[in-house]
Structure 1
Amino acid sequence: MRLSIIIPTLNEAEAIGVLLADLAPLRAVGAELILVDGGSRDATLARARGTVDQILHAPRGRAAQMNAGAQAAAGDLLWFLHADTRVPAEAISALRAAWADAVGQSLGDRNHGRREGFWGRFDIRLSGRHPLLRLVERGMNARSRLTGIATGDQGLFASRVAFDRVGGFPPLALMEDIALSAALRRLARPVCLRARLLASSRRWEQGGVLRTILLMWRLRLAYALGADPVQLAGHYEGRNRPRGDR
């Protein structure tokens, strides 16, 4: 497969080097790494140079940044990763196996129907030790498997054909991952990989774990009821915005 990994960044100097080290073995065997920066003022770009294939600049906002990366990508499979994610080797193996199955490589055929609707996400584990975070991660994994909706923390991936067919990430200030999942779900149910990414728990810890859980529930409910994503983004950033996020 030709895999393109797209990483949106904004002031991620502390995290980006660790993620790129996790992805170095993939790059060594031909994966394309694309970093799309939204205006970092720290050492993010300096620390990424030489370890990615492209550094792009786009207007701040994950939707715009990830769409810019996807447009520049050469891969048949697009994988969107947050800069503060850790990627264990078993997650890479699981993705390879799922893609090989989708395109029928194990049988030596070309199963285009499955390939064109191929998309999915990983289970996650949150990095912090607070007991409530164990409930958060289990709830996220179970809810996603049940509903077919994924979040950006879960390492969304999609075939180029599926991503283009739904028009990429909608230009939303918040909930772009939810909206993309809903569009892709109309093509096919997601592949829910049980291999776990390690997702940063900083937004919960910096905002207060219980307080952030309640905030995210309110935002998700408001979005489902038709609230303006721009207003929701302003509320999110004003109440629970960790350094470097979005």
Structure 2
Amino acid sequence: MPSKLNISIIIPVFNEQEHIANSISNIKKCCENKCEIIVVDGNINCSTLQEINDSEVIKLHSAKGRASQMNCGAAKASNDSLIFLHADTRLPLNVDKLVHEALSIPTVSAGAFKLSFDSESFVMKFIAYIADMRTRLERVPYGDQAIFVKKDIFLELGGFPQVPLMEDVEFFRKIKKERREIIILDETVKTSARRYLQRGPLRCAVRNICLRILHICGVSTFKLAKMYQSKGR
């Protein structure tokens, strides 16, 4: 295994001032400073970027929307493998080696980690368990699972589609359609439960399941985005 692991970590942000410093600190700890870090702000004021004092972090601005922001970061990335990370998701130790080993398997094109939440609530643990079962069965992970992909495959497939919701789902469905292998690692990432706890865990879980079913049934992502926003993120 080479001493330098060519991985770029891309973080799309919008008003994540309170979490970005901890996110960058976590990445550096888990990658031992071997990863390229790219933060892409969708806020016209670049309020999150203003909170970054680390000169090694690449700071970019793009149009609002996770798909646009992540595609912007990927275009700037200089490494062979990409990790797309939410600002409130924490990576496991040795994440660079884990991703490198996974993507070194010739048949594997992309993957993600097992989901967990920073809450001891039984409900949140149950939601994480159901999410893990769904992901392993369907092989379509969500963005809060720190999804990763080979850069050449990402570019070949055109990156994330410009849709307002479920860009991660659409992208992995495209990978599956190409009959490329998706790996789900046993190591976990820890995502903030704040949005679930603010709006009610069961309410959020049911909403997400309903939106996913409607998406499978062919409902437009633009209609789903309106429903998602009307019920609160």
TM-score where L is the length of structure 1: 0.86
Equivalent in the alignment of 2:7 = 3
1:51: how far off? 5.3
RMSD over aligned Cα, in angstroms?
1.8
Equivalent in the alignment of 2:199 = 207
Equivalent in the alignment of 1:233 = 225
Equivalent in the alignment of 1:48 = 52
Q: Distance in 2 between matches of 1:40 and 1:198?
A: 29
| Correspondence 1:191 to 2:191 | no
Which residue of 202, 220, 235 maps to 2:212? 220
Show CA shifts across 1:53-82 (max 9, x none): 311111111011001111111110011000
Contact 2:46 2:61 in 1 (8 A): no
Q: Distance in 2 between matches of 1:44 and 1:207?
A: 24
Show CA shifts across 1:157-184 (max 9, x none): 0001211121110111001010011111
| Correspondence 1:147 to 2:142 | no
Contact 1:212 1:240 in 2 (8 A): no
Q: Distance in 2 between matches of 1:229 and 1:196?
A: 28
Within a 5 Å distance, the mapping from 1:1-246 to structure 2 comes to: 1-25=5-29, 26=31, 28-29=33-34, 31-39=35-43, 43-50=47-54, 52-99=56-103, 101-102=104-105, 113-114=106-107, 117-185=108-176, 186-241=178-233
Q: 1:79 to 1:223 in 2, by over 3 A?
A: same
Aligned length: 227
Q: 1:40 to 1:212 in 2, by over 3 A?
A: farther
Identity level (%): 31
Report the residue type matching 2:100 in the other structure.
Answer: R
Show CA shifts across 1:195-226 (max 9, x none): 10001112211111111111111111111111
Q: Distance in 2 between matches of 1:54 and 1:42?
A: 13
Structure 2 unaligned residues grouped into runs of 5+: none
Structure 1 residue ranges, 4+ long, deviating more than 6 angstroms after superposition? none
Larger helix share, 1 or 2: 1
Contact 2:13 2:42 in 1 (8 A): yes
Contact 1:11 1:40 in 2 (8 A): no
TM-score where L is the length of structure 2: 0.90
SS of the residue corresponding to residue 18 of structure 2 reads helix
Contact 1:123 1:195 in 2 (8 A): yes
Q: Distance in 1 between matches of 2:32 and 2:42?
A: 23
Report the residue type matching 2:11 in the other structure.
Answer: I
Q: Distance in 2 between matches of 1:43 and 1:207?
A: 25
Q: Distance in 2 between matches of 1:224 and 1:127?
A: 29
SS of the residue corresponding to residue 178 of structure 1 reads helix
Equivalent in the alignment of 1:106 = none
Contact 1:9 1:40 in 2 (8 A): no
